[in-house]
Amino acid sequence: MNGPGGGQTLILLRHGHSAWNLTDRFTGWTDIALTGIGIDEAETAGRRIARAGLGIDEVHVSVLRRTRQSARAALVGAGAVGAPMFATWRLNERHYGALQGMRKHAIFALWGERRSRAWWRGYQEPPPPLADDDPRHPRFDARYADLDPVLLPSAESLADCQRRTLPYWREILAPRLAAGRRLLVVSHGNTLRGLVMHLESLSPEAMESVEIPAGVPLVYRFDNSSRPGGRVWLE
């Protein structure tokens, strides 16, 4: 990779520090706001993008406010506040089912550390699902009222999250990159892990050790065949 600038450029950014990070809770699809720390992280990320000489033509976020807040702060830092923003449920965080809202130490105490970590870091096994009548279920959320209820998860493994995300990559993001658009995608840790796994053709075993730090831009350059030609973290 010959530096981060130019060519077909994709920037991935995990949202900044949120209010539930303070209490070590599983957030998932719960709509939690950023803290002041998270806003600063995102704006710093934007400044790193600008220093790297990268332009941003458009931004893609989840429907959860922590990605929109991060995107707006990053655009301020990058000096690209006029870039259009597109939101989709397909970039939402992995749905943690019955674990959502629970503290990690309580989950470990209830189900055991080994099983809990398999849900947390593994690829195939989903956590316990929400009941259909649980008020936390996304079918009760007005933001998803236009979606077929069959599409709305009660819990997701990383594999489920990846299957839900990749149609957006194939149908929206990849064609726009091929058309020369410079994209910033602001999403969540597991959603971005699944996308990185796809872009780099990683195995599920290799994926378990991949970390996506909050607020650090990950830049991919693509060749004419729309395959990633290299990557760099803007740390």
Q: What is the CATH number of the domain that holds 24?
A: 3.40.50.1240
Round the average pLDDT of the chain to a whole number and report it.
92
Contacts of 201 (CB under 8 A, 6+ apart): none
Q: Per the structure block, which two tokens stand in for 227?
A: 């395959």
Give the three-state DSSP class for 25: strand
pLDDT digits (tens, 9 = 90+) for 184-206: 999 999 999 999 999 999 999 99
pLDDT digits (tens, 9 = 90+) for 130-189: 999 999 999 999 999 999 999 999 999 999 999 999 999 999 999 999 999 999 999 999
Domain-embedded: residue 37: yes
- Listed residue (168, 147, 135) closest to 61, CA to CA: 168
Which member of 17, 43, 60, 93 is catalytic? Answer: 93
Whether pLDDT at 228 is above 90: no
What pLDDT is recorded for position 4?
43
Domain count of the chain?
A: 1
What pLDDT is recorded for position 227?
75
Domain-embedded: residue 229: yes
Domain-embedded: residue 34: yes
Which residues lie across from 222 on neighbouring strands? Answer: 8, 228
pLDDT bin (cut points 50, 70, 90) of residue 120 is confident
- What is the domain extent for residue 123? 8-233
Domain-embedded: residue 85: yes
Domain-embedded: residue 1: no
Pick from 5-19, 48-62, 207-221: least confident:
5-19
Please confirm, yes or no, whether 15 is among the known catalytic residues.
yes
Please confirm, yes or no, whether 188 is among the known catalytic residues.
no
Domain-embedded: residue 205: yes
Q: What is the mean pLDDT of residues 46-50?
A: 98
Domain-embedded: residue 3: no
pTM of this structure: 0.94
